[in-house]
Structure 1
Amino acid sequence: MEIFLQLLLNGVLLGGTLAIISIGLTLIFGIVRVVNFAHGEFLMIGLYAVYLLNQHLGLHPYAAIVPVVVVLFCLGAAMQRFIIQPLLSAEGHIQIFATVGVSIALMNAALLLFGADVYSVSNPSGLGTGTVSLGFLRASSGQLLTFVVALALVGALHWFLHSTFLGRAVRATAQHRNAAQLMGVNVKNIYIFAFGLGCACLGLAAGMIAPQYPVFPTVGTFFVLTAFVIVVLGGLGSLGGALLGSLLIGVVDSLAGFYIAPDLKEVVYFLIFLGILIFRPTGLFGAGRGSE
Structure 2
Amino acid sequence: MSHSTSQPPRQPPDEPTGEVVADESTSSATTVLARLRDWAMPLGLAGAVVLGLLLVYTVGGRDSGLITQSIVTGLLLGGVYALVSIGLTLIFGVLGVVNFAQGSMLTLSMFLVYVMVTSMGIPVYVATLIAIPIMFAFGATIQTLFLNKLTTSGNHEGPLLITLGVSLLIINGLLMIFGGRPKSVPGGVSGSITVFGAIASYERLIAFGGAAVVALVLTLALKKTSFGLSIRAVSANSQAASLVGVNVNRVYAMTFGIGAACVAVAGGLTVPFLSLTPTVGEQFTILAFVIVVLGGLGNVVGAMVGGLVIGLVQTVGALYLPGTGSLILVFGVFVLVLFFRPQGLFGATS
CA distance in 1, matches of 2:200, 2:183: 24
Structure 1 window deviating more from structure 2 (2-11 vs 78-87): it is: 2-11
Q: CA deviation at 1:267?
A: 2.2
CA distance in 2, matches of 1:257, 1:219: 21
Q: CA deviation at 1:30?
A: 1.2
Map of 1:53 onto structure 2: 116
Q: CA deviation at 1:260?
A: 2.0
Q: Aligned match of 2:86 in 7, 10, 23?
A: 23
CA distance in 2, matches of 1:136, 1:103: 41
CA distance in 1, matches of 2:328, 2:124: 32
CA distance in 1, matches of 2:322, 2:133: 40
User: 2:68 touches 2:196 (CA, 8 Å); kept in 1?
Assistant: no
Map of 2:345 onto structure 1: 284
| Letter aligned with residue 265 of structure 1 | S
Judging changes above 3 Å, is the alpha-carbon distance between structure 1 residues 152 and 229 closer, same or farther for their aligned structure 2 residues? Answer: same
Q: Aligned match of 2:242 in 173, 181, 197?
A: 181
Deviations 1:81-110 (A, max 9, x none): 111112121531222111111111211111
Map of 2:212 onto structure 1: 151
CA distance in 1, matches of 2:186, 2:203: 15
Q: CA deviation at 1:287?
A: 2.6
Q: Aligned match of 1:201 in 262, 269, 272?
A: 262
Uncovered stretches (5+) of structure 1, i.e. residues with no partner? none
Map of 1:6 onto structure 2: 69
CA distance in 1, matches of 2:70, 2:181: 32
CA distance in 1, matches of 2:76, 2:265: 16
How many pairs align? 286
Map of 2:176 onto structure 1: 112
Q: CA deviation at 1:147?
A: 1.2
Map of 2:317 onto structure 1: 256
Secondary structure of residue in 2 paired with 1:166 = helix
Secondary structure of residue in 1 paired with 2:272 = coil
Superposed CA RMSD in Å reads 1.6
TM-score (norm 2): 0.78
Percent identity between the aligned chains? 37
CA distance in 1, matches of 2:158, 2:341: 26
CA distance in 2, matches of 1:33, 1:263: 30
Map of 2:100 onto structure 1: 37
Secondary structure of residue in 1 paired with 2:98 = coil
Q: CA deviation at 1:279?
A: 4.3
Uncovered stretches (5+) of structure 2, i.e. residues with no partner? 1-63
Q: Aligned match of 2:148 in 61, 85, 88?
A: 85
Please tell me whether Structure 1 or Structure 2 has the larger radius of gyration of its CA atoms. Answer: 2
CA distance in 1, matches of 2:210, 2:109: 17
Q: CA deviation at 1:203?
A: 0.6
Question: Superposition pairs for residues 194-273 of structure 1, below 5 Å?
Answer: 194-273=255-334
